[in-house]
Chains A and B, each alone.
Chain A
Amino acid sequence: MVTHENGGGHEQHHPPSGFIRKYVFSIDHKVIGIQYLMLALFSVFVGMALSLLMRLHLGWPTAKFAFFHGGQMTPEQYLALMTMHGTIMVFMVLTTAPQSGFGNYFLPIQIGAADMAFPVLNMLSFWTTFVSLVVMICAFFVSGGAPIGGWTSYPPLSALGEIVGPGQGGGETLWIVGLAIFCGASLMGALNFITTLIDLRAKGMTLGRLPLTCWTWFVTAILGLLAFGVLLAACILLLLDRLAGTSFFIPGGLVVTDQVITWHKGGSPLLWQHLFWFFGHPEVYIAILPGMGVASHLLSTFSRKPVFGYRAMVAAVCGIGFLGFCVWGHHMFVSGMSPYSAFAFSILTMTIGVPSAIKTFNWLGTLWGGKIQFNCAMLFALGFVSLFVSGGLSGLFLAQPALDLYLHDGYFVVAHFHLIMGVAAIFGMFAGLYFWFPKMFGRFLNEGIGKVHFWLTFIGVYTIFMPMHFLGLAGNPRRYSEMTAGPFLLALQPVHVFISIAAFITIGAQLIFLFNFLWSLFAGKEAKEENPWHATTLEWSIPSPPPHDNFGGVEPVVYHGPYEFSVPGAADDYIPQHLAPNLVRKA
């Protein structure tokens, strides 16, 4: 049901006075955007800490550490860390920061709106997300600890309760409830994003003049709107199987820890997989599309050239979004599906290579012949392109059922999805943060420290994930807590040690970023100009940080496309979108 806002359109844009209304339960999209980013920042460090513990154990499985109960990590503890690492990173970082964080802050400003269409709903979606994070983290502290079923939580193991292992009791229930709450939060957010973009664009902001960032936030919101309802339905079915004794996903005749399960019969674990991946594959694009938007935006801005093939870029984003709903079966090639289905899913999956290649070609076309400025924001945008290509190419291997049967349960897949979904999306976020930090906080992030951060991270992530491809090709299974079970796995152990050391260094480099972030927030170089990057979009036409209602109670008018750089005949090498044609200085 549609939400009705309190107060008229004008009243709600008076800045709130109290601390609670201003910073906690704020309805200002900029504050909510920063709240989302802070939630993601907290989550990413939790997620990294979990991966650090996992890498410690994978590198030195027999070493004893005082902080593990009994000195050594058990396989179940490893699986709990893996589950929570994946869940927190996918939902609380990759889904929230690029879309809900940066999108919330900049989508209304870039289209010339004072706020989101429904500010109260916006606040509600943030606090619902916060509740879902709290519920999920509570899973660590209940009897049995966090769930061990992985971020995909496949039944029947996720549906049977404590009988199948620690963490599958209360921890798993909290995990599912947390995820269901997250679905609700994401649906509210998606609805708000789409409505805002459709109905609140300033005069002159036609679809053809939307910055590509807005296009990607728009398509991402559509994906979220159509996908999260399906995940919510799946979560409800799974909860009923666990708590009410139904048998949607649990087949009959299961034997678990020497006990025959007699109270369930006839269900299908594959049904969960279909529902989950119908959501799960669009989720990949929910994570990566905003990064594509930021990369396109920055490559154009910092090579002082228009985006090469703007319309093709928009079509490619829409194409990727559409195809994202047609390929979920490629996550299930090893489930025993009909080869004909697998063939169809395989062809459709490889079709995604077409819009992806268009995007990559156009990014290179944008750079070609440009006056490239290698600042931190641009470096991370270039890093995004690099990681997108490296991670995407291995997708072509995995899209083929014959190859996937061998590679699916090994480290090749770990390498693939970390590069393309995890690290590429995070590079998109870093690019956005270095670019927009002066607008958001009125100060620059330190460029020198930022470059150290970039190079350590860029080299670091390749050093971590490239060798994983070889581990996968060599047959190293994923989800194993240690590789001590046989000579061929033992022979691969030095690679794990190497990867662990690389991971520690890369995680350490993120502390450099954290220092830069906190230090620059209070003592960074002040951004005195409104538009220090000489960029074209509307956020650069207002003060840094922007006032409460963005444009000071007036509505901007848009006259130009989003990427009018180096226009022949103009004196300056950029034409801001809001600049009236008669005010453009001639060369």
Chain B
Amino acid sequence: MPGTIVDDVEIIDAGHGGGTPPPAGGDDDGDSHRPRRPVPPRAYFTALQLGLAAIVMFFMALASSYIVRKGLGLDWQSTPLPRVLWFNTAILLASSATIVVARKKLEGGEREAFRSWWWVTTGLGLLFLTGQVIAWHQLAASGMLLATNPSSSFFYLLTAAHGAHLAGGILALFYVAFRPWSRSRISQSTAAELASIYWHFMDGLWVFLLALLTLGR
């Protein structure tokens, strides 16, 4: 088979794209057989971005359904939003700030401070979810249940879907805090960066959903 047993070693220039390979994601010296690289950290960022794209499509499907369903009929009655939502929003926005501080502390080597700020972020996330449950209770107490009206159906659905995704983010925060990173393919700092990107995204997503629920009532 050519390539393994060679009788006659000569270079041919056939103009078919042969020649020295360009560097494709490696900084190696170009030996024909090189030790295998581990999966590069950038793969995690690629995967995160793709995951966020899928999440965007999911929420865009729900948001377009919201707009279409609202435009359909006379049965749409605006759902009065519980005031606690504004408090929840402030909590979530604050958590985005604390996660930035936490990462800065980690990069600066202040591990204790990092852990503190990281736990503050996690606590704020849990507080947000608790606040959302309180909002549900308040809404239910006012007689607006899941099936009462399409508007309330969407309120519960969108907040639940966002809450589920945010709960995934909280699990990621725990994971970053507790995992033994010495044996991992990526460093704790990279993992913290990934978790924080996701966290900021969940924050932005909530602001979008809140805008939809208030402006599109």
Q: Which residues of A contact B (CB under 8 A)?
A: 1-5, 7-10, 13, 114, 117-118, 187, 190-192, 194-196, 198-206, 208-209, 225-230, 232-234, 236-237, 240, 244-248, 252, 265-268, 271, 274-275, 278, 306, 529-531, 541, 549, 551, 553-561, 564, 567-572, 574-576, 578-586
Contacts and interface: CB of A to CB of B under 8 A. Distances in A.
A195 B2 contact: no
B208 interface: no
B31 to A, nearest CB: 7
Contacts of A558: 21, 24
B146 A191 contact: no
Contact of A199 (B3, B39, B60, B191): B39
Interface stretch (B69-77, B89-97, B128-136): B69-77
Given A246-B153, A248-B65, A575 B47 contact: no
B36 interface: yes
A205 B44 contact: no
A271 B58 contact: no
A225 B48 CA distance: 12
Given A1-B171, A191-B51, A199 B46 contact: yes
B150 A247 contact: yes
Contacts of B127: none
12 contacts: A2-B44, A8-B184, A199-B40, A203-B24, A203-B34, A204-B24, A226-B53, A230-B58, A265-B73, A266-B150, A268-B72, A556-B33
B36 A201 contact: no
B169 interface: yes
Contacts of A561: 16-17
A194 B6 CA distance: 37
Given A194-B50, A531-B1, A114 B14 contact: no
Interface secondary structure of A, over-half rule: loop
A1 B17 contact: no
A315 B186 CA distance: 35
Contacts of B171: 1
Contacts of B16: 306, 560-561, 564, 567, 575
Interface residues of B, number: 81
B46 A198 contact: yes
B153 to A, nearest CB: 4
A275 B65 contact: yes
Contact of B172 (A1, A9, A232, A541): A1
Contacts of B59: 233
A530 B54 CA distance: 39
A482 to B, nearest CB: 38
Contacts of B169: 1
A191 B25 contact: no
A240 B82 CA distance: 23
A180 to B, nearest CB: 11
Interface of B: 1-3, 6-14, 16-26, 28, 30-40, 42-44, 46-48, 50-51, 53-62, 65, 68-69, 72-76, 146-147, 150, 153, 157, 161, 168-169, 171-172, 175, 179, 183-186, 191, 194-195, 198
A221 to B, nearest CB: 9
A585 B184 contact: no
Nearest to A245: B147
A107 B184 CA distance: 25
A208 B17 contact: yes
B206 to A, nearest CB: 16
A558 B24 CA distance: 10
A286 B67 CA distance: 29
Given A8-B38, A230-B61, A266 B74 contact: yes
Given A7-B183, A9-B185, A225-B54, A569 B12 contact: yes
A225 to B, nearest CB: 5
Contact of A248 (B24, B36, B150, B194): B150
A196 B183 CA distance: 22
A232 B150 CA distance: 19
Contacts of B184: 4, 8
A268 B69 contact: yes
B147 A244 contact: yes
Contacts of B54: 187, 190-191, 225-226, 228-229
Contacts of A586: 8, 10, 12
Given A4-B191, A585-B2, 15 more contacts: A1-B171, A5-B185, A9-B37, A10-B38, A199-B43, A201-B24, A204-B22, A205-B21, A225-B50, A240-B153, A271-B69, A554-B35, A558-B24, A572-B2, A584-B12
A1 B198 contact: yes
Contact of B30 (A13, A194, A557, A583): A557
B157 A236 contact: yes
A465 B37 CA distance: 50
Contact of A553 (B36, B42, B175): B36
Contacts of B50: 190-191, 194-195, 225
A246 to B, nearest CB: 4
A578 to B, nearest CB: 7
B115 to A, nearest CB: 19
Contact of B9 (A206, A229, A234, A583): A583
A278 B57 CA distance: 11
B147 A206 contact: no
A578 B61 contact: no
Nearest to B146: A244
Given A9-B185, A557-B34, A576-B3, A200 B24 contact: no
Contacts of A274: 68
Nearest to B171: A1
Contacts of A580: 32
B7 A9 contact: no
B146 A245 contact: yes
A199 B36 contact: no
Q: Which 8 A-B pairs have the closest CB atoms?
A: A9-B38, A204-B21, A245-B147, A233-B61, A229-B58, A266-B75, A229-B57, A266-B73
From B21, B35, B40, residue with most partner A Cβ within 10 Å: B21
A145 B142 CA distance: 40
Nearest to A270: B68
Given A203-B21, A557-B30, A583 B146 contact: no
Nearest to A551: B36
A585 B75 CA distance: 77
From B55, B59, B72, residue with most partner A Cβ within 10 Å: B72
B94 to A, nearest CB: 21
From B8, B10, B47, B198, residue with most partner A Cβ within 10 Å: B47
